[in-house]
Amino acid sequence: MAEPLIECVPNFSEGRDPAVIAQITREIEAVEGVWLLDVDPGKATNRTVVTFVGPPEPVLEAAVRAAKKAAELIDMSQHKGEHPRFGATDVCPLVPVADITMEETVALARRLAERLGRELQIPVYCYEHAALTPARKNLAVVRAGEYEGLRDRLGRPEHAPDFGPATFVPRTGAIAVGARDFLVAYNVNLNTTSTRRANAIAFDVREKGREAKDAQGKIQKDAAGEPVWIPGTLKAVKGIGWYIEEYGVAQVSLNLNDISVTPMHVAFDECVRAAAARGVRVTGSELVGLVPLRAMLDAGRYFLHKQERSTGVADAELIKIAVKSLGLGDLYPFEPEKKIIEYALAAKRPKAKRLIDLTVRGFVEETAAESPAPGGGSVAAALGALGAALATMVANLSSHKRGWDARWREFSDWADRGKAFHAELTALIDEDTAAFNRVMDAMGLPKGTDAEKAARAAAMQAATRYAAEVPLKVMQRTLASMEVIAAMAEHGNPSSVSDAGVGALCARSAILGAHLNVKINCAGLKDPAVVAALKAEADAIAAQAVERERAILAVVEAKL
């Protein structure tokens, strides 16, 4: 079972002194099992956003150590900055990353809050999903009045902290600890220095909107005497405007609280529209902290769709389109390996040796070496990936063919399907070798006692079954990919019909090769029902592959 991972994104009220920031982040790096992914200081905001990931217990320990160090080094009574804040460690949210639920993350956040209040002896509030009362779900409500208003608020019973003493600590202020979904901190750059204009645009787009005013400029009230609000255009978005002296521009600073509701590219385009309506131009944008890969890929697809171009291209190309279209390099170079969470995490983890990272020559030579793996199963998966990749190529060429403009979306959809197939099959190249290695590991288990023999036999059976299931999956996914190959042979760019034919040949060979691997592994299984089921499905797929290849090649030959 995979180890649960959570992300912690503490915001420290210091963005100008690198020595202070380094001392805080060293506390995080000193905790074994934690990966420090990003440190993003801002001079104008006088705030640093830190991102680290790891299993729950090490992450909680690192958060406590960092907050303790921040309490020692940061004096809030001297703090000035553009960003709302009320503490040295201002906020400390936890985000579920993998193999952990939001409910489990909430429990961890409350444990963290209790520990911070007890060990640091400062007020701690819980917000977002970790809030202990509905009124404190919104961070803006928790932090209302900021540091300057904290002393008075702590004197009122209704504002007592959830953990720690209800006393004002001038040096450290308070901490807000939360559990939330992935939040994207996203700033849109403007060609103005006017904070007023930036705020107006922020009020246009943020969900909360702005207070309604009458013709005389007085705030309108409802029957209960509360201000009437005119909502903005973007759901699940918070925002303010500010001026960043460091870059000499004003920004619309947004928190995208749910990118499935309002993705980054939608927020950007809406800011472009709202800015233009006020005579202001958007020049680019910046990400504070890290962003999920899917947000960048979705943005790339969105902008390619606007250009009526195929989206079935490599992830690197989608990211490049997103960076250019969003102007993420406007203020400083955008580095995907540092700003995309999956890439940043992969860079921190120990590098596993993977076949798919080899050159073509390296893969061929590794296959030819004396070791039994990679063998026929990995080569079959590679053939399946190549067949699907050729179909994807034909779809991309067809989408961009002169005179076929009206059909670009049709071929883009085929390219997306082909890309998904070749990505799955590429992963199965290494998975087949891993399955073989699992069998070898089971064979090496001790067999000195009856109990050890029984455990070894059970492990051998489980590993052997998996070694049969992996090539069966290669067969399943390759057969499915032949639908894309057939469509491209029939309807794709006629100049590339031979490529579709080679794709069909690759697919058939991949399936028949994987079939051999299913059968040889079935020979080691002792359960006749399992063997019969595996063989029956594999036999049926092999027969279908031969027939589909014949039909595709008939189309190809007719067009040559």
Question: Can you give the pLDDT at residue 346?
Answer: 87
Annotated catalytic residues are 83, 432
**Which residue's entry shows tokens 């849109």?**
188
Regarding whether 159 and 65 lie in a shared domain, the answer is: yes
For position 383, which CATH number holds? 1.20.120.680
**3-class DSSP assignment, residue 340:** strand
Regarding whether 190 and 154 lie in a shared domain, the answer is: no
Task: Give yes or no for a contact between 433 and 386, defined as CB atoms under 8 angstroms apart.
Answer: no
Q: 403-428, pLDDT tens digit by residue?
A: 999 999 999 999 999 999 999 999 99
Q: Give the chain's domain count.
A: 3
Strand-pairing partners, residue 282, are 190
Regarding whether 200 and 333 lie in a shared domain, the answer is: yes
Question: Can you give the pLDDT at residue 2?
Answer: 63
392-415 burial code (b ≥16 CB/10 A, e <16):
bbbbbbbbbbeeeeeebeebbbbb
Regarding whether 422 and 314 lie in a shared domain, the answer is: no
Q: What is the DSSP letter of 84?
A: -
Regarding whether 417 and 305 lie in a shared domain, the answer is: no
Please give the full DSSP string across 373-418, using - where no structure is assigned: -S-HHHHHHHHHHHHHHHHHHHHHHHHT-TT-GGGHHHHHHHHHHH
Regarding whether 254 and 158 lie in a shared domain, the answer is: no
Question: Can you give the pLDDT at residue 1?
Answer: 47
Question: Can you give the pLDDT at residue 3?
Answer: 81
The domain containing residue 533 runs over which residues? 355-559
For position 84, which CATH number holds? 3.30.990.10
Regarding whether 31 and 153 lie in a shared domain, the answer is: yes
Weakly modelled stretches of the chain, pLDDT under 70: 1-2
Regarding whether 203 and 110 lie in a shared domain, the answer is: no
Among residues 154, 179, 204, the one where a domain terminates is 179
For position 276, which CATH number holds? 3.30.70.670
Token pair for 213: 């005013």
Q: Which of 419, 510, 418, 529 is nearest to 471 (CA)?
A: 510
Question: Can you give the pLDDT at residue 371?
Answer: 86
Instruction: Give the separation between CA 112 and CA 356, rounded to whole angstroms.
Output: 41
Among residues 325, 348, 371, the one where a domain terminates is 348
Question: Can you give the pLDDT at residue 553?
Answer: 98
Among residues 348, 368, 403, the one where a domain terminates is 348
Regarding whether 338 and 416 lie in a shared domain, the answer is: no
Question: Can you give the pLDDT at residue 355?
Answer: 94
Regarding whether 495 and 407 lie in a shared domain, the answer is: yes
What is the reported pTM? 0.85
Phi then psi for residue 383, to 5 deg, are -65, -40
Regarding whether 470 and 388 lie in a shared domain, the answer is: yes
Question: Can you give the pLDDT at residue 59?
Answer: 97
Regarding whether 376 and 461 lie in a shared domain, the answer is: yes
